[in-house]
Structure 1
């Protein structure tokens, strides 16, 4: 396990690209644990530079009064680990950002939603410098430099390889996992990143999609028998999509995701927040890419296809 791997964690430097609900929370936890963390901010830059970062968490509130904040990626130091926590709708900016912030022997850890996101990053920095991560986190940014962590927080990470071939568990995965565990973040190491991404979609596709289309929180979707049934149908379609890509999701996984969501505090999904704030939705990476992966293998996912088309319509109308 990662905590049996001996090394000096304080030698690692981190860059956080996207200091929002996710990047801000994990980056703040890493800095609190004593690691060297550099934050890229946009609208919050002046505020955070002056006042720092505030984290309200179920695990204990804390404030970082001093943070290494930057308004532009090309002003940041090159780091060992670059945590990509931007919305995928901003990925067109990555060719200008990533070369400045990742060391020659560094790694980009892609903590973004959906499928195929590592492919985009690999084209910029090379496949050997890319790792993917799936975050099981309920967190919101409630004000400039102010993050509210509601529930969960575990990250599952895996090495990326061309065509999403399973790459096993590496030393650098163990090193990064040990840093996060030092910061109180539960970690899981995945031998197969593609399987892990399909597993995350079992939750993301029904709850993010339906929360927008039906204007509902997770607890509302679960308490109504019709929407709960629809959630489960969508989950099984994701399982079939994974199967078309030769990735088998265990039979009990759907029930586990339903159980976790039943226990979860009432939650407005990240896609619902983006929709309410009239920001572009991550429709392509979270819905379009998985559909294309599965359709190329001959799979038909009718409910996900309909949800994708509905979201495309709502996103287009919302942003005009």
Structure 2
């Protein structure tokens, strides 16, 4: 299966960027869109990137998953707040013995997919990407872009590096995307939470960019404390995150360009927040194993309040 076809479910800052890179490299890519469908179906996609700008004047654009062809690889690039739509999306678009690649934040997202489709290979993908959608069909890539892949098995048993992972990694690498293959998806997801939990949460609660959080001693200490608490949650699942990794993530953020996190953008744009996938699921996993994570719990409760208030405001505006 050397000429794999790809379906991108969610053509936003992440799915649009990776899907466009795949098409530019000659891959057969099909994009599912919502609000941007009319524009993209007529004008294509524009990628403004630190690695080089490019335009795709024509793309395979759809606003109805039932009209999409069955594909070898289905990339879930939706926000986890839209995962309730997956039972209506996945069965018709993924081929038997195909691959579902879950490019989403948080924990336990692959478990949801496994309940929807059988006879497929599920791979989790952790994206270290700074990009924003700045207009319809226009994506601005600011920094980074690496994807870490890990195979999913029941209860997140370690799969090692499967041939499906290697094939997908080769396709993405041919499109100029840096890839890493993880033998243990659960460990990889906890490692991603080391960054996502402090920066996404605090960016909303404190109304701050990443550079601002790192510029002040008290917020930097809070970030580091939250990172160590994520490591404690990981340990409850039998996965060890070394202190050196935490220092790497701190250095990584200091060196990145000033960045407004995806959760902060969602909050500013009055969209639902991915609170459950990024905060609630890890808290529940640790709690079931007898471990409390008090600082993460505090952030979770504050985000739930802000998310509920914002949802009420949006509902009132639309009523």
Scaled by the length of structure 1, what TM-score is found? Answer: 0.96
Q: Does 1:132 align with 2:159?
A: no
Q: CA deviation at 1:105?
A: 1.6
Post-superposition CA distance 1:138-159 (Å, at most 9, x none): 0000000000000000000011
Shift of 1:129: 2.2
- Please, which runs of 5 or more residues in structure 1 have no aligned partner? 1-6
**Corresponding residue of 1:30:** 22
Is this contact kept in 2: 1:127–1:160, CA < 8 A? no
- CA offsets per residue over residues 289-310 of structure 1, 9 Å max, x none? 0000011111111100000000
Structure 1 position 91 matched with structure 2 position 96: no
Following TM superposition, where does structure 1 have runs of at least 4 consecutive aligned residues deviating by more than 6 angstroms? none
Deviation (angstroms), 1:127: 7.4
Contact 2:97–2:120 under 8 Å retained in 1: no
CA contact (8 A) 1:128 1:161 kept: no
Other-structure match for 1:52: 44
> TM-score, normalised on structure 2?
0.97
Of residues 216, 225, 235 in structure 1, which corresponds to 2:217? 225
Kindly state the Cα deviation for residue 63 of structure 1 after the two structures are TM-superposed.
0.2
Q: Report how far residue 185 of structure 1 moved.
A: 0.3
The alignment status of 1:241 with 2:233, answered yes or no, reads yes
Partner SS, residue 47 of structure 1 = helix
Is 1:18 the counterpart of 2:10? The answer is yes
- Secondary structure, counterpart of 1:157 in structure 2: strand
Q: Which of 203, 212, 218 is equivalent to 1:211?
A: 203
Q: Is the 8 A contact 1:128 1:160 kept in 2?
A: no
**Displacement, 1:126?**
2.6
Query: Is 2:170 the partner of 1:174?
Result: no
Corresponding residue pairs, total: 312
Distance 2:150 2:242 in 1: 18
1:273 aligns with 2:265: yes
Instruction: State the Cα deviation string for residues 43-92 of structure 1 (Å, max 9, x = none).
Output: 00010000100000000000000100000111100000000000000000
Alignment RMSD (CA, Å): 0.8
Q: Unpaired segments of 5 or more residues in structure 2? A: 313-319
The secondary structure found in structure 1 opposite 2:73 is strand
CA-to-aligned-CA distance 1:3-44 (integer Å, 9 cap, x gap): xxxx73xx1000000000000000000000000000000000
Q: Alignment partner of 2:144: what SS?
A: strand
Structure 2 residue 184 is the aligned partner of structure 1 residue 187: no
